[in-house]
Amino acid sequence: MKARSLAILILVAGASAAAGVGYHLWSRGGGTGSGMDTPEVVERVLRAQLADVKGTSRSLEQWRGSVLVVNYWATWCAPCREEIPVFVRLQERYGSRGLQFVGIAIDPPDPVAAFAREFRINYPLLLGGVEAIELLRQVGNRAGVLPYTLVIDRNGNLVSREPGGLKEARLERLIQPLL
């Protein structure tokens, strides 16, 4: 009797685990569509007018034709800061081959300037306000997650959208074929 109830228990546990995993896969499969029009959104990202740390208004237009890595971040966002040294390294390594990092900080100018000095950031930083956040949501990042990184090839095609921290190896794998 005891052995039998144990067997039933194990059966139930196994079956429910399988059901849980199955349900999860099923629910995840349905939820990834973003409903965005990619080329148009990239166009909007490239054309957006954003201030730099000194207050000058700039856009990403000037780097059109480069392999662009656009990184949304903030100084108060600890996971964002962790990947900055990786970006600095890769900018140094591949900058001459046409790779361009651009950081868009959801922040006031002062901490960004201080941070750029301290971490010797060797790529341009722009400041994102309400409009930039709205754009970020339109790119497919509805929850407004930081860090969020876009990889855009030389023809202006969106190659990848990366929510959360990026490992150096993964980013390198993403950009190398584009250079």
Distances (CA, A) of 129 to 67, 106, 126, 136, 154: 24, 6, 10, 11, 26
**Cα gap 39→174, rounded to integer Å:** 19
Which CB atom, from 66 or from 149, has the smaller least distance to other proteins?
A: 149
- 104 makes contact with other proteins (CB under 8 A): no
35-71: b (≥16 Cβ within 10 Å) or e: eeeeeebbeebbebebebbeeeebebeebeebbbbbb
- 174 makes contact with other proteins (CB under 8 A): no
- 133 makes contact with other proteins (CB under 8 A): yes
- 162 makes contact with other proteins (CB under 8 A): no
Pick one of 56, 118, 169, 177: the residue that binds other proteins (CB under 8 A): 118
Question: Quick one: which of 31, 30, 27, 36 has its CA closest to 140?
Answer: 36
Which residues from 1-60 bind other proteins, rule CB under 8 A? 8, 11-13, 15-17, 19-21, 23-24, 27, 31, 33, 35-37, 40
Cβ–Cβ under 8 Å, residues 84 and 73: yes
- 136 makes contact with other proteins (CB under 8 A): yes
Which CB atom, from 33 or from 177, has the smaller least distance to other proteins?
A: 33
* Residues within the interface to other proteins (CB under 8 A): 8, 11-13, 15-17, 19-21, 23-24, 27, 31, 33, 35-37, 40, 72, 74-82, 106, 111, 115, 118, 133-134, 136-138, 142-147, 163-165
